Amino acid sequence: MKTALTELVGIRHPVVQTGMGWVAGPRLVSATAEAGGLGILASATMTYDELAAAIKEVKSRTSEPFGVNLRADAEDAARRVELLITEEVRVASFALAPKKDMIARLKDNNVLVVPSVGAARHAEKVAGWGADAVIVQGGEGGGHTGGVATTLLLPSVLDAVDIPVVAAGGFFDGRGLAAALAYGAAGVAMGTRFLLTRESTVPDEIKQAYLARDLNGTVVTRKVDGMPHRVLRTELVDALESAGPVSGLARAARNAAKFRKLTGLSWRSLATEGLRMKRGGDRTWSQVLMAANTPMLLRAGLVEGDRSAGVLASGQVVGLLDDLPAVGDLIETIVADATGILRRLASE
């Protein structure tokens, strides 16, 4: 199926697997690439060396294009950008919008830049800086998310920019892809649906915990890191929601220390980032400290399989999923169904 996204990236199908922290590793990304979609490695939860190894592993498994998700505000962001250029990675995606010069550096070296945006004005800004496409996620999506649903956020972004727009938040099947194309999107991006595949390395017990949920099984909480975050509703999340500020802070401090150790970020870097976050918005210092909380809480669930200690990011879509398909079958079915739907509707 051809769209502006498939033409831009050189992939066969307009289906993106998002760069979920701890989840989007070489195995999932290469499976997506081989199936004709765009798989994106999550580098925010990897050290530089781990990222370098992950890129090599993907390239050993597939010769198809793939992407890497970067934190534009990471201490070693510039070095990671050079790594993508050296390794000829096709797409750099960003959860937080990159600065103008970082976009220019990547584009000058044939790396496509595809930031995620949460509002039409953000899309306009990065398009003006040269972004090649944007991913826009409606509030029903998992992880950090906004309050505006896909049915409204998507058309608002499509009206604001001329570059390809990839729709995320609530997508899981061929009907959704057909609907996204009807809105004018160039494809769909999915997280939770790819987390729940055979190739996903999330522990099986955790996958089963996801599959058991219904449409009311997620909740948006600010208690993980101060930002709205859609996660599975668990006892831990309920406890976070009702916990006082002191116990929350103590846990956040412990987790910040662990994350620092794992990723090699210095305290200075965490503090610098904290200062930036504090200036950027209306967060309290406790929320800033809690920011390093997220990756550790996610890791406990998604890597270690600890349901009681972990926070499990998830879209509302989890309520409609009840299988663990192979990535190749998933993408093939989605594209075939969407094609059939659009043909049938035009002939009616």
Q: Is the Cβ of residue 74 or residue 313 nearer to a second copy in the bound state?
A: 313
Up-side HSE of residue 326: CA atoms within 13 Å toward CB?
6
Which residues between 199 and 218 bind a second copy (CB under 8 A)?
A: 215-216
Q: Is the Cβ of residue 71 or residue 213 nearer to a second copy in the bound state?
A: 213
Q: Report the run of H or E that residue 16 belongs to, with start and end.
A: strand 15-17
Answer for the pair 57, 85: CB distance below 8 angstroms, yes or no. no
Angstrom CA distances, 247 to 3, 250, 251, 256, 260, stand at: 50, 5, 6, 14, 20
Please state the closest distance from residue 97 (CB atom) to a second copy, in A: 18
Q: Is the Cβ of residue 53 or residue 336 nearer to a second copy in the bound state?
A: 336
Q: Is the Cβ of residue 230 or residue 307 nearer to a second copy in the bound state?
A: 230
152 near a second copy, rule: CB under 8 A: yes
| The pair of three-digit structure tokens given for residue 318, joined into one six-digit string | 């989890």
| Sheet containing strand 229-232, strands side by side | 143-144, 229-232, 218-221
Please state the closest distance from residue 172 (CB atom) to a second copy, in A: 8
Which residues between 315 and 334 bind a second copy (CB under 8 A)?
A: 316-317, 319-320
Q: Is the Cβ of residue 171 or residue 259 nearer to a second copy in the bound state?
A: 171
Termini Cα distance of the chain: 21
**Nearest C-alpha neighbor of 262 from the set 54, 5, 22:** 22
164 near a second copy, rule: CB under 8 A: no
User: Is 212 exposed, middle or buried, given 0-12, 13-18 or 19+ CB atoms closer than 10 A?
Assistant: exposed
Please state the closest distance from residue 320 (CB atom) to a second copy, in A: 6
15 near a second copy, rule: CB under 8 A: no
In the complex, the residues that contact a second copy under the rule CB under 8 A are: 2-3, 119, 138-140, 147-153, 155-156, 158, 169-171, 173, 175-176, 178-184, 215-216, 316-317, 319-320, 338, 341-343, 345-348
